[in-house]
Amino acid sequence: MKIALIIPKNGTESSRSFYDYRFYAEFLLSKKYISYLLAIPTLVSLTPRHHEIRVFDENIEKIDYGWQADLAGISVRTMFAKRAYAIAARYRGLGVKTVLGGIHPSMCPEEALEHCDCVVTGEAEEVWGTLLKDAEEGALKRLYSTGSHVDLKASPAAVRDSLSRTRYLQDIVQTTKGCPYHCEFCSVYAFDGQKIRSRRIDAVLEEIRDITSHRSAYKKKNAVFFADDNIIADKKYARELFKALKPYNINWSCQASINLSREDELLGLMRDSGCGAVLIGFESISQKNLEAMHKQVNQRYDYTEAVRKIQSFGIMVHSAFIVGYDFDSETTFDELIAFLRETNLLMPLINVLTPFPGTELFKRLEKEGRILHKDWDKYDAKNVVFRHPTLLPEELKDGYMRVIRDAYSFESIWRKLNYYWDRDFWKHANEVDPVKFFYRFAFALRLLTLLSLKNKERSRFIMKVLPRVFNPRVRVSTILTMMAYNDFAYSVREHEALECEPASHHTVDGIVSPLTAAGAAEHIEKSPVHPGG
């Protein structure tokens, strides 16, 4: 069979997403994208070799509907479920059998079945081979479900050969699945379970060797994001993994819980093996909110001290926060702004609370009649899709806008960059991976092309930062990252797509029935974070 595997586009032309990395592509004068969904190379690894496969990632390329596929498999996350349904409809119109899988169809199989020929719920490892055999015999079933979580030690390594690998800025690797915590807003434990499952370390290293053997001029750092929900959940395994990674000279980032701050040995091993950044879900500075969201582990830590400790090892802390939990008020936003200024957190990820299908939060808000609508395009962590106890939807959206625009104003960016430069924060990274003069010079020239009277704030920032570009303490990739986040923060329109009408007035094709990171980002496939320079 000829099999098309599809990654729907993240975001639209008219609406910017924190995850679309459009500014990077524009700055680099290319169509490169941050990374791919790991589900697709996993499916490739499970597909018998007599099948012909093509992968289409809408973030970097158009789908070639003229390639006459027999079967189209589409990986679906909630925020682009409608786009996935449209792609499936197009293929079905061409007589192609369609399969939807991923977290959204797993949580909403009845809805997904209205838009395709077949749905896979849960992990695909145990059912994909059977599904393909049934499809070859013309006996494709409507639903394939995994009875239990798969044994990762028996799972094959992801195969990336079908990807347009020169178009991605970093690779994705998974070493464990599962999360022992049960945060109300998070769908991870509902999908992957609470038991920590680990891959064989030699299998992980095999993937790392494959990645490092495909060097390109743009990707000399071999940037890798470990998509584990909490890379230190199994500390013994983590210790062995970090030791094994050291010889491979990769620049990697990950996600971890805040208790990493009390693990000096692990922090040292992470630094020595190339870890540049860790994403931690702080979620809220309100103890009442942390209690309401069942984030008990965070209640035992001083955030400021935790950040100081982790960053003392030269590992950047990427923080994630949620605004809109029940105990938030009009003062919450100013309090969060003050906290971000005080701690100098360089790249805070701010999410509007989003009740994703399958979470306890979704079930609670739906029971309380507080879900405003189920227009999945708006379930993107920047729009308000539920009714808050005390804040109007526009008040919550305005507060969110105020936080991200303060955190990513050029004034704030300049202040925080100087804070880290003065402390020579990237000393270790600059020693093991120095930025060559040629790249600094090219970066400076590209900055000059962005000078414009129409954007005076950015132009003033560029003129201040230009002399620093040639300082060996400075990581130019970090400057680019901060400029990209500024671009996003100021592209979000006030009240953009704000929906305040009752839920009964909003349907998705007649349906009235739903992953880099904490909060909403934990559902939005653990969106990759920048490796930190």
C-alpha–C-alpha distance, residues 390 and 370, integer Å: 12
Which of 452, 469, 457, 368 minimizes the C-alpha distance to 417?
A: 469
C-alpha–C-alpha distance, residues 171 and 163, integer Å: 11
Multiple choice CATH, 170-368+516-523, 3.90.580.10, 3.30.56.10, 3.40.309.10, 3.20.20.70: 3.20.20.70
Q: Centre a 10 Å sphere on the Cβ of residue 220 and count the other Cβ atoms it contains.
A: 12
Token pair belonging to 342: 């005080």
C-alpha–C-alpha distance, residues 459 and 454, integer Å: 9
Q: Which pLDDT score is estimated for 14?
A: 58
DSSP state of 12: -
pLDDT tens for the chain, 533 residues long, are 999 999 998 655 556 677 667 888 889 888 788 888 899 999 999 999 999 999 999 988 999 999 999 999 999 999 999 999 999 999 999 999 999 999 999 999 999 999 999 999 999 999 999 999 999 999 999 999 987 888 899 888 999 999 987 888 889 999 999 888 889 999 887 788 878 999 999 999 999 998 888 655 444 557 899 999 999 999 999 999 999 999 998 999 999 999 999 999 999 999 999 999 999 999 999 999 999 999 988 888 999 999 999 999 999 999 999 999 999 999 999 999 999 999 999 999 999 999 999 999 999 999 999 999 999 999 999 999 999 999 999 999 999 999 999 999 999 999 999 999 999 998 878 887 788 999 999 999 999 999 998 999 999 999 999 999 999 999 999 999 999 999 999 987 644 444 443 333 222 222 222 223 333 333 333 333 333 33
Contact (CB, 8 A) for 52 and 136? no
Contact (CB, 8 A) for 109 and 406? no
For the segment 241-265, what is each residue's pLDDT rounded down to a tens digit?
Answer: 999 999 998 999 999 999 999 999 9
Could you give the residue range(s) of every CATH 3.20.20.70 domain in the chain?
Answer: 170-368+516-523
Three-state DSSP state, 283: strand
Which of 232, 113, 93, 218 minimizes the C-alpha distance to 165?
A: 218
For the segment 267-302, what is each residue's pLDDT rounded down to a tens digit?
Answer: 999 999 999 999 999 999 999 999 999 998 888 899
By CB atoms closer than 10 A (0-12, 13-18, 19+), residue 77 is buried
Which of 280, 271, 274 minimizes the C-alpha distance to 252?
A: 274
C-alpha–C-alpha distance, residues 420 and 481, integer Å: 15
Q: Which pLDDT score is estimated for 417?
A: 97
Three-state DSSP state, 358: coil
Q: What is the side-by-side order of every strand in the sheet holding 275-283?
A: 171-173, 223-226, 251-255, 275-283, 316-323, 349-352
**Is beta strand 176-177 parallel, antiparallel or unpaired with respect to 197-198?**
antiparallel
Q: Which pLDDT score is estimated for 506?
A: 28
CA–CA–CA angle 232, 19, 450 (5° rounding) = 125
DSSP state of 254: E
C-alpha–C-alpha distance, residues 197 and 150, integer Å: 9
Q: Which pLDDT score is estimated for 221?
A: 59
Q: What's the one-letter identity of residue 476?
A: V
Helix or strand (DSSP H, E) at 55: strand 52-57
What is the pTM (predicted TM-score) of this model?
A: 0.89
Contact (CB, 8 A) for 199 and 153? yes
**DSSP per-residue codes, 306-356:** HHHHHHTTT-EEEEEEEE--TT--TTHHHHHHHHHHHHT-SS-EEEE----
Q: Which pLDDT score is estimated for 493?
A: 63
C-alpha–C-alpha distance, residues 481 and 489, integer Å: 12
**DSSP per-residue codes, 119-165:** EEES-STTTHHHHHHHHHTT---SEEE-SS---GGGSPPP--TTS-G
DSSP state of 508: B
Helix or strand (DSSP H, E) at 211: helix 201-212
Contact (CB, 8 A) for 160 and 210? yes
Which residue's entry shows tokens 């003065």? 422
Contact (CB, 8 A) for 399 and 330? yes
C-alpha–C-alpha distance, residues 49 and 63, integer Å: 22
* CA separation, residue 436 to residues 34, 418, 431 (Å): 22, 21, 12
Helix or strand (DSSP H, E) at 71: strand 71-75
Contact (CB, 8 A) for 131 and 12? no
Three-state DSSP state, 216: coil
Which residues are within 8 A (CB) of 317 and not within 5 positions of it... i.e. 6 or more apart?
Answer: 277, 278, 280, 306, 307, 310, 311, 345
Burial 241-264 (b: 16+ CB within 10 A, else e): bbeebeebebbbbbbbbbbbbebe
C-alpha–C-alpha distance, residues 523 and 526, integer Å: 6
2-145 sits in which CATH class? alpha beta
Could you give the residue range(s) of every CATH 3.40.50.280 domain in the chain?
Answer: 2-145
